[in-house]
Amino acid sequence: MYVLHTGRDKSILRVIIMGGDPQPPSSRESRSKHKETGKTEEQTMDLLNEEIMTLYELLERQGLNKSEWEAVTQPLVEAVNRAQLRKKAAKLAKCVGFLLVFLLVLYLLLQLLPKWDWSRIYYSDCFITNPYYVSRALTEDDCNVCESLDKVDRLTNVSSHVVSEDYLKNDIPFIVTDAMDDWPVMNTEQFWFDNITEMYLSEELRTIYPCELTSNLRLRPDDLRTFLKKIHNPDIHRWYGHWENCNKKAAKALRQIYRRPYFIPHMVDLSDSNWVIISSDFKGKVYKECAFHLFLLLQDSYYTVLYFLLQIDFQTELLWVGQVRGWSRIRLVPREPCDHFCPELLETITEGQMMLVTNLLWKFEYIPGEHTDNLAVAVGGFWT
C-alpha cells in the first residue's frame, strides 16, 4: 500500500495497489455522489479524469524514478490489459458462436431443401399473408374486352404509352416482333444450349436449386444439374424442360442474356425471378390441358408420344416470354368466368419475338416447337 499525502484541502489520497483494479476512495465517493445527484456519464468521466490528473501530479511531486514509477503503475496497467483482453475474448466468442449457429442452420436448411422447398418463402415478398388484403376478382364485366378477340395483335416499334393504355390496362395480350433486336445474344451465332448449361453447371451456381423444374426426363424437381448433364448426352433425344430461377444468383446469371424490353412502361417492375424454357426435337400435340406437373402418355405403333400442354402458373400481374432460339406454340385460355364468353387464343412466336400477357384474365400455356431446338426466357412483372 502506498499512502500519498496531498496538500489540497488537507485531504489524504490513498492509492491501494493489490494486483486488482484500483479503487481510490475519492473515486468511490464520486460514484456515490453521481448516483445521488443523477450526474450524467460524461460528467462522471470528467470527474474521474480530473482525479487521475491529480494523482499524476502528486506522483510527479514525489520525485519517483523510473523503476518506482513502473512499480506503482504496474498493477493498474495489468488491470487495464486484463480488462481489454477479456473484452476482446468476449467479442471473439460471440463471433465464433454466431458463425457456428449460422453454419448449423445453413446445413440443416440445405439438408431440408430436397424435401421442402423453403426458398419460395425466403424469396416471397410477404412472409405472412395479409388477411385484410383482397386481390381483384375477375367479373363478367371484365369479359367485355376479350369477347370479340380472335387473334393476338403483332406490334413493331410500339411505344410504352400505347402498351399501357391500349393493352395492359385492358388485359389484352400482344406480340412485339422487334422486342429483342438489341439483345446481344440475338446478334451472334455463338450462343446456344452450351452457354446455358455451362452457366448453371459452374462452381458459382453449384449449390443453387431451382424452384420449379419440369421435364419429360425423370428427375427430382430440384435436380437441375442432372437434367443439364443429361441433355448433353447425344443419345438423349426429344426432351424438354423449364425451370424457375428464384435464387437471386441464378436469376442474375440469366439476366446477362436479356434486357428490359423497350416497350415495358416505367410503372411496371419486373420480378427478381425468371424462367428458362428449353427443348430439343420435342414432338408435342395439344391433346388436353394437364396440371403443371402432370402429363399424359399415349402409345402408338412406332414410339411413345407425349401429348400434353405445358402450363406455367405465373403469380405475377403480367408475364413476357421472349423466344431466343426456335419457336413455340402459345395458347391463352380465359379464366373463369370469362371462359364462357371469350375464345381461346392460339398463336406462334418465332425467334426474336416476344409475347406479353396479363395474369388477371389469361392463363398462359405453351408447347415447344417441333423438329428444332428451342430456347426462351420468361419474366414476370407488377405495376401500380
Parse the chain into domains and list their residue ranges: 2-81, 140-383
> Phi-psi region for residue 74, left (φ > 0), alpha (ψ -120 to 50) or beta?
alpha
| Cβ neighbour number for residue 193 with a 10 Å cutoff | 16
Confidence at residue 76, expressed as pLDDT on a 0 to 100 scale? 74
Q: What contacts 155, CB < 8 A, 6 or more positions away?
A: 162, 174, 175, 176, 177, 263
Residue type, 106: L
Phi, psi of 255 (to 5 degrees): -65, -10
Confidence at residue 126, expressed as pLDDT on a 0 to 100 scale? 65
At residue 127, the 3 state secondary structure works out as: coil
Confidence at residue 160, expressed as pLDDT on a 0 to 100 scale? 95
- Residue 163: DSSP 8-state: I
Confidence at residue 29, expressed as pLDDT on a 0 to 100 scale? 54
CA distances in angstroms from 267 to 41, 61, 169, 245, listed in the order given: 52, 78, 12, 23
Longest CA span, the chain = 117
98, with CB counted inside 10 A (0-12, 13-18, 19+), is: exposed
Give the cell for residue 183: 439483345
Q: How far apart are CA 26 and CA 153, in angstroms?
A: 90
Confidence at residue 133, expressed as pLDDT on a 0 to 100 scale? 54
Confidence at residue 58, expressed as pLDDT on a 0 to 100 scale? 78
CATH, domain range 140-383: 2.60.120.650
Confidence at residue 362, expressed as pLDDT on a 0 to 100 scale? 92
Contact 268, 318 (CB under 8 A): yes
370, with CB counted inside 10 A (0-12, 13-18, 19+), is: middle
- pLDDT by residue for the chain (384 residues), tens only, comes to 344 443 433 333 344 333 344 444 455 554 555 455 555 777 777 787 787 788 777 777 777 777 777 777 777 778 888 888 888 899 999 999 999 999 998 888 778 766 776 666 665 656 666 665 556 688 899 999 999 999 999 999 999 999 999 999 999 999 999 999 999 999 988 888 888 888 888 888 877 888 778 888 888 877 888 898 888 887 888 898 888 888 888 999 999 999 999 999 999 999 888 999 999 988 877 433 333 333 332 333 333 233 334 545 455 789 999 999 999 999 999 999 999 999 999 999 999 999 999 988 999 999 898 889 999 999 998 876
